[in-house]
Amino acid sequence: MTATYSVPQQRKLVTELPGPQSVALQARRVASVARGAGTLANIYMDHAAGAILVDVDGNQIIDLGSGIGVNTIGHAHPEVAAAASAQAGKLMHTLFTVTPYETYVKVAEKLNAITPGDFEKHTILVNTGAEAVENAVKIARKFTGRRAIVALDHAFHGRTNLTMTMTYRPWPERAGMGPFPGEIYSVPTSYPYRDGLTGLEAAEKTIDYITTHIGATEIAAFFVEPIQGDGGIVIPAPGYFERISEFCTENGIVFVADEIQAGIARTGAWYSIEHHGVVPDLVTTAKGIAGGFPLAAVTGRADIMDSVQPGGIGGTFGGNPVSTAAALAVLEIIERDNLIGEAQRVEAAMWARIGDWAEKFPVVGEVRGKGAMFGVELVHPGTTAQYPEALTAVIAHAVANGVIVLDSGSWDSVLRIMPPVVISNELIDDAMSVLEEALALLSKP
């Protein structure tokens, strides 16, 4: 794929990082912004294009985070900006549940078409991923008449009171934030690097836990991330989700694919559940759907979605005209420019570039990924013991040298790499060279 960007697609540092203007802004931030809104890199951005961020000091930085999976089609895409601008000049807000508008309907139609399954589907639009998950919980409970919700170990489903209860690790998301809602259960998952189980073996372990600790007939919904993002790019073994889906069908449980981070072309398919050959009952979508504008959705079987009475779901800003106009542009660009194919190209380039890291660097336990979504699990050399200090060191080295990369993993020991799918192979090579410098230092005896 060739494209012309307003910012040269190359890493270029003109100051130390953070630069003087970022340092000054950081002082203002400390004096005015709550510290709970923590930041990975205190480098303040001015503009961006493609896979390059430009900070307030003029440094050009490679973005391997995409705003945690949001800027899948690249930063500040001019067609998305134009669509949002045109809509803002025409109609900004009415509230769809008061006086509706076409762009909401068109986004719903598109999501009904691209989510897995050839059955009739309906969609509701909301603001954020956490809100989508909360609404999926409400819908599943209303449809089944049950209350229990199951999520997988290492899951991340959001930061609201309900969704952080569904999130696995206590720190930092849940520490000191209770009490939490009841009837939320975390169950064992498939983590091939750490459990050594086949997909079917791991699924039977999950099912046994549910049977002995919860009871299948109590469960309204089973939430899964087909590829866990914050959990450490954990990809369950083949066959795991197939068996879990069968179990849900056998027991009247709504099977929900949380695709907030992995969905919308990032993994080389519209949705990452497609890699597992499984069709969920409900799908949650957010992040990459609108190119940076706030938008999320729940899409699923029409009978399940329509079990909620009018007024039972919705919200003031959900599916607002500007965000839906941006989303329509994003979805059109993905199809027209074959960005699903571009994600597959990124995957091939990544495997070619870093596929041997576990053999090359003793500090690397495993490399895993799909599309433009990779994880590098860091361990103490010669063991499989988690090594969070190594992750901190790698990220610090990357940031200081103009590469933004993310942390992840329940033990904070997995390097998360999620660039825009339009990133060039040359930028991938340059960014990986920076990461290799840090890994080489950590791997020295």
- Residues 357-372: tens digit of each pLDDT: 999 999 999 999 999 9
Residue 97 in this model has a pLDDT that exceeds 90: yes
Confidence category of residue 331, pLDDT binned at 50, 70, 90:
very high
State the pLDDT at residue 170.
80
State the pLDDT at residue 2.
60
Residue 1 in this model has a pLDDT that exceeds 80: no
Contact 432, 354 (CB under 8 A): yes
Residue 177 in this model has a pLDDT that exceeds 90: no
Mean residue pLDDT of the chain comes to: 96
State the pLDDT at residue 254.
98
User: Could you give the angle at the alpha carbon of 180 between the alpha carbons of 140 and 37, nearest 5°?
Assistant: 105
State the pLDDT at residue 4.
83
Confidence category of residue 94, pLDDT binned at 50, 70, 90:
very high
Kindly state the average pLDDT of the residues 178-203: 96
Kindly state the average pLDDT of the residues 274-300: 98
> Pick from 393, 371, 145: which is nearest to 264 by CA?
371
Structural domains of the chain sorted by starting position, each given as residue range(s) with its CATH number in brackets: 20-76+339-443 (3.90.1150.10), 81-337 (3.40.640.10)
Residues constituting the chain: 445
**pTM of the complete model:** 0.96
Kindly state the average pLDDT of the residues 95-124: 97
Residue 444 in this model has a pLDDT that exceeds 90: no
State the pLDDT at residue 287.
98
Q: What is the percent of the chain where pLDDT is above 70?
A: 99
Kindly state the average pLDDT of the residues 382-395: 97
SS3 sequence of the chain: CCCCCCCCCCCECCCCCCCHHHHHHHHHHHHHCCCCCCCCCCCCEEEEEECEEEECCCCEEEECCHHHHCCCCCECCHHHHHHHHHHHCCCCCCCCCCCCCHHHHHHHHHHHHHCCCCCCEEEEEECCHHHHHHHHHHHHHHHHCCCEEEEECCCCCCCCHHHHHCCCCCCCCCCCCCCCCCCEEEECCCCHHHHCCCHHHHHHHHHHHHHHHCCHHHEEEEEECCCECCCCCECCCCCHHHHHHHHHHHCCCEEEEECCCCCCCCCCCCCHHHHHCCCCCEEEECHHHCCCCCCEEEEEEHHHHCCCCCCCCCCCCCCCHHHHHHHHHHHHHHHHCCHHHHHHHHHHHHHHHHCCHHHHCCCEEEEEEECCEEEEEEECCCCCCECHHHHHHHHHHHHHCCEECEEECCCCCEEEECCCCCCCHHHHHHHHHHHHHHHHHHCCC
Contact 293, 327 (CB under 8 A): yes
Residue 173 in this model has a pLDDT that exceeds 90: no
- Residues 152-162: tens digit of each pLDDT: 999 999 999 99
**Dist CA 8 CA 383 (whole Å):** 42
Query: Could you check whether the bond before residue 172 is cis, i.e. omega within 30 degrees of 0?
Result: yes
The torsion angles phi and psi of 238, rounded to 5 degrees, stand at: -55, 135
Confidence category of residue 115, pLDDT binned at 50, 70, 90:
very high
Q: Name every residue whose Cβ is closer than 8 Å to that of residue 334 and which is 6 or more positions away in sequence.
A: 72, 73, 264, 265, 340
